[in-house]
Amino acid sequence: MKIFIIVVVVMSLLGSFMWMMPTQREKFQAQLRLRAKKEGFMVQLVRLTAPRAEGELDEKVRNTPAYRLPRTNLGKREVAEMLPWQVFKVTAIANEGLPEGWCWKLGERSLSDAQLSVLNEVIALLPSDVVALESTPVHVTAFWNERTGEEQLETLKVALGKLIEEKL
């Protein structure tokens, strides 16, 4: 009986330690986010509310990693004049000027045709699991589910860099 109790206690302790160990996915995310910080990204987990999709009654809310690159190329006047915008990978009515399967949440009809062309090029470059893009006078953000792998981090940096370069 004493041996049985000792075995149960030891197994209980081992189970507790195993439960605290990070999973393979958590290890991957930690490594990816550390590399992203070295590349100049600010990474945060944010509560993201997507616009209502066609045929849906409610907006979809989820916690998503936000990969942000700061804007350093805008003057005070440009910052004051820049209008923020958000686009989501959702099929909805507010999709003017965007590729199929993308829609506006904020900033529809605020970009010129040339700017929309650049935005569409950037959307085509994005990894397949990017669910939204955001642009403010402070930073550009890709809301990325991190499923396509670490090699897509450079692609993401190039795409967001193009938005910064074009002051979009």
Per-residue pLDDT of the chain (168 residues; tens, 9 = 90+): 788 788 777 788 777 777 777 888 888 888 999 999 999 999 999 999 888 877 777 788 899 999 999 998 888 888 888 899 999 999 888 889 999 999 999 988 889 999 999 999 999 999 999 999 999 999 999 999 998 888 899 999 999 999 999 988
What is the DSSP secondary structure assignment for residue 53, as one 8-state letter? P
What is the DSSP secondary structure assignment for residue 10, as one 8-state letter? H
Q: What backbone torsions phi and psi does residue 69 show, to the nearest 5 degrees?
A: -115, 130
In this prediction the pTM is 0.85
Is 42 in contact with 131 (CB distance < 8 Å)? Answer: no
How far apart, in whole angstroms, are the C-alpha atoms of residue 160 and residue 168? Answer: 10
What is the DSSP secondary structure assignment for residue 97, as one 8-state letter? T
How far apart, in whole angstroms, are the C-alpha atoms of residue 130 and residue 142? Answer: 7
